[in-house]
Structure 1
Amino acid sequence: MKYSILDLCPVPEGSTAADAMRNTADLAQHVEALGFHRYWMAEHHNMPGIASAATSVLLGHVAGKTSTIRVGAGGIMLPNHAPLTIAEQFGTLATLYGDRIDLGLGRAPGGDHAVWHALRRGRTGEDNFPAEVAELMGYLGDADPQAAVQAHPGQGTHVPLWILGSSLYGAQLAAHFGLPYAFASHFAPDALEDAAYIYRRDFKPSGTLAKPQFMLAINVIAAETDAQAHYLRTSVQQAFARLRSGTPGKLPAPVEDIDATIGLGLRQGVDQALRISAVGGPETVRRQLAELIAKYQPDEVILTGQIHDPAARKRSFSIAAEAMADVVLEDA
């Protein structure tokens, strides 16, 4: 089983977006050496704690700092963009960096209603996502001499497409197109089991994929001890609580008493949303990862972890890599 990284390029309190981008390049090199398969980044807007808004630009930076790990979007929110523009951007990345580029596609705005309006002004609210996916596939596939518009670069690069989602809609669409499917279980796990079932049941083999390929997203916060890991986890708990409260900010520093900081009720709601997680010392994380993989039977996992201290984040993924190597060996 392959295991990969989802990095939102977090901006910790006390640091800048420039610091976050340097940390992202450093982390990409670190996890490449650890044997991770992919390094994905996601499109978010109007969030001071996430520096990956211009996702394709930052992916080019990461690809230029690495040599073997796959680099891609997890994902691009396609309704924010003209499919031709995305084909040209990712066709350029594929032209520069070869067969290392992935393109995961989502249909949310990557922000609130104000973001939706700012990005999609002049466009109707009609859901054209399936047609836009098909249009993008055409731009990245073999050239059609009869086509009035072609993507240069892009045409013929065959950049692999993924459908991303947190509902049954994405599962159905990925199955219809015969594309791989990544579920956002790291923050919206409620439909996880049903989505995985529907995707596998309804999957139609395509020219690019003969059988379903399902990716499970897992939060991982690992440290030397369980207590240290739970302390580090309070950063993402605070960040998620602020997002739910409509006050997103930079990634907070960890706190000793999370309930005193955000309140018991809100903390319980946050933990429910973040329940697809492995949090603890090396043995605890190994066990929890093994349990999640055994339960959901993914073809691949993608790990993410919002940790305030960049050095602790690197250490967390080192522990996770060791744990995943053990889990894969046991499964074999």
Structure 2
Amino acid sequence: MSKENTATKKQLGSIPISILDLSTISAGSTPADSFRNTLDLAQHAEAWGFNRYWVAEHHNLPPIASSATSVLISHIAAGTSKIRVGSGGIMLPNHTSLVIAEQFGTLESLYPNRIDLGLGRAPGSDQLTARALRRDRTTEFPEQVNELLAYFDPSKFATKNPVKAIPGEGLKIPVWLLGSSDYSASLAAHLGLPFSFAGHFSPSYTFPAIQEYRENFRPSDILKEPYVMMGMNLTAADTDEKAKWLFSSTEQHFLGLVRGNPVPIQPPADMDTVWNEHEKKAVYQSINGSIVGSLQTVKKQLEKFIENTQVDEIMLTSYIFNHEERLRSYEIISEFIKKA
């Protein structure tokens, strides 16, 4: 653990809490329903004091509607007034750096000082879909990130580039690297960027990735000290029993991924009738460490996690079937947000 993270111990209530929303599509609903629910949750999140509201790029996945990520960010930002809105993330290899610089330059120009640009290196899809998305690509991810940073600040180009990002150039848009292993942790440390770890589907790499990032962090003109945000699955309810029941929708979602057959978010179910022990073990390799329970239970879980990791921010995501139950889940968590 780095010196800056041992000097002042972080505690629940003293660090920001944010939301990652995949605009999930529940069985029997449509993407249009999902977008209405996304905006509704974002507006509640703003009122409750959440710090950021991010959406993520995925493609060809029946449970996820956030494929046109930049468009959805604009929709959310237009319907809110102060919460930060961004990508968690844009899968940069699917795009040219110039296009992303222009898109986020446009967003920042429309919604000043509210836009975050989180970047991932995975396709956000299966390999067949990835091929459908991509042009012929020879640029490696680190080079592409540097190119994107240089469109915002042309002084970072090795030689003068006559191509400019308009809008984009000169704008101070926070750029984050996202990762589910120590690869992006190492790159974020090298570039002096904030790092967001995907603990909501890769919990076993949490501690190695955080350690890699903090131990190798190089201060930059963007960030002077390391900053770690942790993604975690959430299902909170008024009782532990109800939360565990609602969480079965998350279990079914990841079971679909394990089986290679993703489906819209399913209603709660008795999982003993749905999976076998081998599948259960495979699912929990992805969702172990999820935050599930009543207010007091999730409080203890979050406090223990923050004590063990000293992360700077928590970002929660949910696969709850019913929108009202999802709202209630985040309302419970809002009890731990320090009010201004």
Query: For this structure pair, what is the TM-score category when the shorter chain's length is used for normalisation?
Result: over 0.9
Deviation, 1:290, is: 0.6
Mapped pair 1:277 → 2:254: no
2:326 alignment counterpart: 313
Contact between 2:202 and 2:285, CA under 8 Å: does it hold in 1? Answer: no
Deviation, 1:276, is: 2.4
Question: Which residue identity lines up with residue 244 of structure 1 in the other structure?
Answer: V
Deviation, 1:265, is: 2.4
Deviation, 1:310, is: 0.4
Q: Cα deviation per residue 1:71-105 (whole Å; 9 max; x = unaligned)?
A: 00000000100000000000000000001000000
**Which of 36, 39, 52 is the aligned partner of 2:53?**
39
Q: Percent identity?
A: 50
Contact between 2:204 and 2:285, CA under 8 Å: does it hold in 1? Answer: no
2:27 alignment counterpart: 13
SS at match of 2:274: helix
**Pairing of 1:123-138 with structure 2 (within 5 A):** 123-124=137-138, 128-138=140-150
CA distance in 2, matches of 1:306, 1:37: 20
- Using CA pairs below 8 Å that are at least 6 residues apart, which structure has the higher relative contact order? 2
1:81 alignment counterpart: 95
**Which of 7, 18, 24 is the aligned partner of 1:4?**
18
Contact between 1:289 and 1:324, CA under 8 Å: does it hold in 2? Answer: no
Question: Which residue identity lines up with residue 213 of structure 2 in the other structure?
Answer: Y
Q: TM (normalized to structure 1)?
A: 0.95
1:216 alignment counterpart: 230
2:166 alignment counterpart: 152
SS at match of 2:204: coil
2:153 alignment counterpart: 141
Question: Which residue identity lines up with residue 140 of structure 1 in the other structure?
Answer: F
Structure 1 residue ranges without an equivalent (≥5): none
Deviation, 1:300, is: 0.7
Question: Which residue identity lines up with residue 287 of structure 1 in the other structure?
Answer: K
Deviation, 1:142, is: 5.5
Deviation, 1:119, is: 1.0
Q: How large is the RMSD of aligned CA atoms in angstroms? A: 1.6
1:167 alignment counterpart: 181
Contact between 1:259 and 1:267, CA under 8 Å: does it hold in 2? Answer: no
Deviation, 1:224, is: 0.5
1:301 alignment counterpart: 314
Mapped pair 1:71 → 2:59: no
Deviation, 1:69, is: 0.2
Deviation, 1:324, is: 4.6
Deviation, 1:141, is: 2.1
Mapped pair 1:108 → 2:106: no
Mapped pair 1:206 → 2:220: yes
Deviation, 1:266, is: 1.1
CA distance in 2, matches of 1:184, 1:77: 14
Contact between 2:142 and 2:187, CA under 8 Å: does it hold in 1? Answer: yes
CA distance in 2, matches of 1:273, 1:113: 20
